[in-house]
Chain A
Amino acid sequence: MFWKSTYNEFIKIAAKPRSYIGLAAISALVSVILFAMKVDGKTYISFITSSFEQTLTFEGDILNGDLIAFIILQMLIIHVPLLVALVTGDLVSGEAAMGSLRMLATKPISRSSLLMSKFLAGGAYTLVILLWLGFMALGVGHILFGSGDLMVLNSDGLVILQNSDLAWRFMGGFGVAYLALLTIATLSITLSCFSDNSIGPIVTTMAIILFFTIIGTLDVPVFDNIRPFLFTSHMIAWRSFFEEPFPIETIQQSVIILVVHIVVLIGVALFKFNKKDILS
């Protein structure tokens, strides 16, 4: 019954027009960035590298598909949560508002299975969004700009990564980025269990991200103890895959924090959904 319900959730997500807003937005934004880079990318790169040109000499084409993909990820990954929450925040509350949740809940499927099928479908949708972003940034970026070594400017300085060393870093980076987005999807579905209207959980998810991000970036000692445990502090953990030396412990810590968030949020959602009186 669980898999049948999950299949139902896939059909519903695929049929909903709002599911395609994220894909369309990513396509449009990445296309604009790729166009701008094609037209004026060298100026943009020389602006970034100008401070190093007195001490370093760059050989080869720095403006390549890998750098473009890295720039795109850095620019867009913080906006993707909104696109994810737009769909996942609606999975329970949207059905409650529409009344169809009442019909689903009178079927001989446990509420836990019903909710877990929504989590699974929400997770799959998040993966599709991220894969699309990856395809647009890496795939189309490579077609238009070719591949090459990746120059990354970190807080510690400039890191040059060999082209042969990039595939696993991108895969790992996308993996951790997926975990971060999955945390957002889980948060929005959990909030969705507490609401009977479609918009509330989406707005609340974004408000929580904004609130935690502000706490995380405020350089005030009082927040020092909680900052490492905020999921928003680990939203950019994917970037660690492009650092040298490779910060394996930092990445492990981020993965653990994000997984704990996901597990706790699913637990809260299951508890609430199983106790919920369906009055809509």
Chain B
Amino acid sequence: MKKTVLTGSALVMALALSACGSSGGGSSSKTQTLTVLAASSLTETFTDLQKTFEQQHKGVKVTMVFDSSATLEQQAAQQAPGDILATADKKTMDQAKTDKGISGDATEFATNTMVLAIPAANPAKLTSFAGIQAKGIDFLTCVPTAPCGSAAAALLKTNGITHAPASQEVDVKSVLQKIESGEADAGMVYVTDVTAAGAKVSSLPVPHSSDSPNTYWIAATAGTKQAKLSQEFIALLEGREGQGVLSKAGFGKP
């Protein structure tokens, strides 16, 4: 009896092992993975392009990692898994080059401008950007190390606003989330974020924001093992289809 059980369990194990073997072997020969590290303001557009790319490349799985450009730059510099780096400003991409996170040249593929996002209900009854200086208004920006934060800091200065934000969030989607949930009266985000947020968020223009728009840059990482796929993804982005998705979302031409 005991022997039967042992034989039985050995059989099950052997089956399990062979199953593992075949699926593992199959996947490595067929499925390839392309990992894209992208600034969080690219969440919606890159998720769109991910689907397009996967349809065009059978057997390729694209993994998107959205975070603050600064965090992603650090990851690329430390050779974390990732084949493509897309940042929301030039400074961060230059830093990636300095830190040897990317080896080749980066290309600019879009621009974006800042607006003041407010909850659709507008609890603070804001009518202009300067209104954020009023007492009792909680407005948010990104941390200055993130592109959305440095852009916000520059615009506050240009507009002569010395009133400090209530909080500096780690990336632009965190700012937007607090506007959507009504936990803040206003927040400085990109025009594309407001478009993506839909009806829950409206916006007010920020004076001088189009004077020096944020530029978006993309490059293959130094550690990539998918050089060909990376170039194809970048080509898709720069082509008619990619640029169409970007302009529909509110991004400007490079």
Q: Do A and B bind each other?
A: no
List the interface of chain A (C-beta within 8 A of B): none
